[in-house]
């Protein structure tokens, strides 16, 4: 995907806490500096795609990226099962639960819930993906925080989504407002910037902050935020060894190689491998 300068915007404040104090961590493509907020420690891209760029990026993302690689698609479906089992084991089965998947893509993750008796709904910003998911479920198309949704839900999912959102707290506030008492918010498949690999590899982290992956969080950011909103953390999990991506011995060797390069003050010129704590899954209850 190629972008023109008209597709970008510049940030002079942290998108999480609003601070204007930050320090540069690394530079990524399109001369984008990724910085860390001095006040809240969120990582964010100072230069990022704007509304025009977002529409261009997500319009046909489903066919051009999301399902373009058969092996990655199979691995993702394996992850769907792991992440489904984690949340399904926590939910009260004595009622018919309504769930909303924010950033539902074509609805593949929702299919697992639907097959097990959940009432499924979705929100999707990508036009192509929204049309595909709408063939199976009620899907709202557009910016989640701006949508007029009258339904209430027992579970709201952000799977691999929160890092792409320009105003993450607006999305989370919207989710809380649509959540039934006793309901759950599930944040999963989200890069953990407190992980060892993130700190070691920085811009070579497997899922770094960039012009399209706007913001990098640690578990503490969500735990502290939801605490102020009177939601309690009830689960914190980091999938690795059980995933289809893990190759423990090879992954350890790559991390060791990167450590040695760092000790020698040499540039790490390869991407981080899958590793412990790279990706976080957090569940909060209202």
Measure CA 55 to chain center: 18
Residues in the chain: 286
Task: Enter the DSSP assignment of 118.
Answer: -
Q: Stretch 155-169: mean pLDDT, rounded?
A: 97
E strand map for 13-91: 22-28, 32-37, 43-45, 47-49
Question: 187-243, pLDDT tens digit by residue?
Answer: 999 999 999 999 999 999 999 999 999 999 999 999 999 999 999 999 999 999 999
Rounded Cα distance between 96 and 33, Å, is 47
Question: 180-198, pLDDT tens digit by residue?
Answer: 999 999 999 999 999 999 9
What percentage of the chain reaches a pLDDT higher than 70? 98
What percentage of the chain reaches a pLDDT higher than 90? 90
Q: Is 171 helix (H, G, I), strand (E, B) or coil?
A: helix
Domain ranges in the chain?
Answer: 70-285
Q: Which residue has the higher pLDDT, 256 or 1?
A: 256
Give the pLDDT band of residue 66 (cuts 50, 70, 90). Answer: low
Question: 76-92, pLDDT tens digit by residue?
Answer: 999 999 999 999 999 98
Q: Where on the phi/psi map is residue 182: left (φ > 0), alpha (ψ -120 to 50), or beta?
A: left
Q: In this structure, what token pair is assigned to residue 65? A: 């990226």
Q: In the prediction, which pLDDT does 96 show?
A: 76
Q: Is 276 helix (H, G, I), strand (E, B) or coil?
A: coil
Q: In the prediction, which pLDDT does 218 show?
A: 98
Rounded Cα distance between 89 and 76, Å, is 20
Q: In the prediction, which pLDDT does 173 show?
A: 98
Which CATH superfamily includes the segment(s) 70-285? Vaccinia Virus protein VP39 (3.40.50.150)
Residue with tokens 């910003």: 125
Model confidence at 67: pLDDT above 70: no
């Amino acid at each position: 995907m190629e972008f023109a300068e008209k597709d970008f915007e510049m940030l002079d404040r942290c998108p999480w806490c609003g601070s204007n104090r930050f320090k540069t961590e690394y530079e990524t493509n399109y001369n984008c500096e990724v910085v860390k907020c001095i006040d809240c420690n969120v990582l964010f891209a100072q230069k990022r795609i704007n509304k025009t760029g977002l529409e261009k990026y997500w319009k046909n993302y489903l066919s051009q990226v999301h399902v373009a690689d058969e092996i990655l698609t199979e691995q993702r479906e394996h992850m769907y099962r792991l992440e489904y089992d984690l949340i399904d084991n926590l939910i009260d089965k004595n009622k018919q639960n309504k769930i909303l998947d924010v950033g539902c893509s074509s609805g593949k993750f929702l299919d697992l819930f639907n097959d097990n008796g959940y009432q499924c709904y979705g929100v999707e910003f990508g036009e192509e993906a929204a049309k595909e998911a709408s063939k199976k479920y009620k899907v709202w198309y557009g910016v989640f925080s701006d949508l007029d949704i009258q339904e209430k839900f027992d579970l709201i999912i952000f799977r691999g989504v929160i890092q792409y959102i320009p105003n993450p707290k607006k999305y989370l506030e919207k989710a809380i407002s649509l959540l039934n008492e006793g309901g759950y918010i599930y944040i999963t498949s989200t890069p953990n910037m407190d992980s060892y690999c993130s700190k070691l590899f920085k811009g070579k982290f497997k899922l770094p902050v960039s012009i399209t992956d706007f913001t990098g969080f640690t578990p503490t950011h969500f735990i502290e935020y939801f605490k102020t909103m009177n939601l309690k953390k009830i689960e914190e999990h980091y999938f690795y060894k059980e995933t289809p991506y893990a190759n423990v011995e090879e992954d350890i060797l790559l991390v060791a190689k990167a450590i040695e390069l760092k000790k020698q003050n040499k540039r790490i010129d390869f991407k981080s491998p899958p590793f412990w704590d790279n990706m976080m899954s957090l569940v909060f209850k209202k």
